[in-house]
Amino acid sequence: MRPPGRGGVPPASPALLFLLLPVLMQLLGAPRGEGAGTGAGAPSELRVRVRLPDGQVTEESLQADSDADSISLELRKPDGTLISFTADFKKDVKIFRALILGELEKGQSQFQALCFATRLHHNEIIPSEAMAKLRQKNPRAVRQAEEVRGLEQMHMDVTVNFSQGGLLSPHLRNVCAEAADAIYTRQEDVRFWLEQGVDSFVFEALPKASEPMLLPRCGQVGDRGKPCVCRYGLSLAWYPCMVKYCRGRDRPTPYKCGIRSCQKSYSFDFYVPQRQLCLWDEDP
């Protein structure tokens, strides 16, 4: 297995420039009109100020594409790390990407990229059509999630072949381009995707020696050239996880009247061939 993806700092795209005026979205409303500048089915984008678990505030970009039936989220942490999340409803795949700034004084390259692909359950986040209809409200407010969902810990024991990744999800080749050699998933998710018709050559199992009981955590390894089990954690600070329904005296059936927001944290354990590739994991 090749070391995780590394390279120079990629040029910033408009979707990554979070120093614009923030926009907060809250209530689920009617579809955007012509003044919004998007046609039917065209991707929509909203920006929202959110409070991170450590109390700091950042800007978050949310995009919905009802034609592709997908949702994406991006946020930049105060340390410069860029976190991306993509939900592909057509393929039942969710993709997490982290672009982690390197520490040159420790011999790291300018950034390190990681990608994690897991099965998407459709009740985890609101549908893409509902996301596209979210309206802006109170742009100066800082949003904090109404519900904090429990930490999900995952052992990633399979890698995804980047050159064939489009067969798993058409979004993977774009989202994980910088992490071509570091795309991880799990056996249990692979079994589900194989049942859905995804070819087995998209995946490659990691060697048994990479199991946590056979290799130490990277935080316990002093030699930076030795293999170990790395742990990386990330959090989606604020995302619409559920559509709210209300009842009215004049309406015999419940109607959509807003969204419920959630915060969710994830912890990924995965094999790295060198401790040097996991210098953030300092905990034993």
**Do the beta carbons of residue 219 and residue 283 sit within 8 Å?**
yes
Instruction: Determine, yes or no, domain membership for 78.
Output: yes
Domain that holds residue 241: 44-277
Give the SS3 label for residue 177. helix
Number of CB atoms found within 10 A of residue 134's CB: 22
Instruction: Determine, yes or no, domain membership for 7.
Output: no
Instruction: Determine, yes or no, domain membership for 31.
Output: no
**Do the beta carbons of residue 129 and residue 89 sit within 8 Å?**
no
Confidence of residue 45 (pLDDT cuts 50, 70, 90): confident
Which residues are CB-neighbours of 100 under 8 A, at least 6 positions away? Answer: 81, 111, 112, 113, 114, 280
**Do the beta carbons of residue 83 and residue 75 sit within 8 Å?**
yes
What does the alpha-carbon distance between residue 1 and residue 155 come to, in Å, rounded to a whole number?
17
Instruction: Determine, yes or no, domain membership for 116.
Output: yes
**Do the beta carbons of residue 211 and residue 205 sit within 8 Å?**
no
pLDDT given at position 9: 37
Whether 141 shows a pLDDT value over 70: the answer reads yes
Give the SS3 label for residue 26. strand
Place of tokens 């589900």: 192
Whether 193 shows a pLDDT value over 90: the answer reads yes
Give the SS3 label for residue 135. strand
Number of CB atoms found within 10 A of residue 244's CB: 15
pLDDT given at position 211: 67
pLDDT given at position 246: 87
What does the alpha-carbon distance between residue 90 and residue 270 come to, in Å, rounded to a whole number?
27
What does the alpha-carbon distance between residue 206 and residue 69 come to, in Å, rounded to a whole number?
31
Instruction: Determine, yes or no, domain membership for 91.
Output: yes
pLDDT given at position 4: 53
Task: Name residue 276's amino acid.
Answer: Q
Rounded to a whole number of angstroms, the distance between the first and last alpha carbons of the chain is 25
Whether 11 shows a pLDDT value over 50: the answer reads no
Instruction: Determine, yes or no, domain membership for 284.
Output: no
Q: Provide the domain count of the chain.
A: 1
Helix spans in 57-197 (H): 128-132, 172-175, 187-195
What does the alpha-carbon distance between residue 50 and residue 231 come to, in Å, rounded to a whole number?
25
pLDDT given at position 105: 67
In this structure, which long-range contacts are made by residues 39-48, counting pairs with CB atoms below 8 Å and at least 24 apart in sequence?
A: 41/65, 41/66, 41/67, 42/67, 43/68, 44/131, 44/132, 45/15, 46/134, 46/136, 47/18, 47/20, 47/21, 47/22, 47/23, 48/22, 48/23, 48/24, 48/143, 48/238
pLDDT given at position 252: 82
Q: What is the mean pLDDT of residues 138-150?
A: 89
Share of the chain above pLDDT 70, in %: 80
Q: What is the mean pLDDT of residues 172-179?
A: 95
Q: What is the pTM of this model?
A: 0.80
Strands 111-119 and 93-101: antiparallel
CA 202 to chain centre: 20
Instruction: Determine, yes or no, domain membership for 13.
Output: no
What does the alpha-carbon distance between residue 189 and residue 85 come to, in Å, rounded to a whole number?
17
Instruction: Determine, yes or no, domain membership for 3.
Output: no
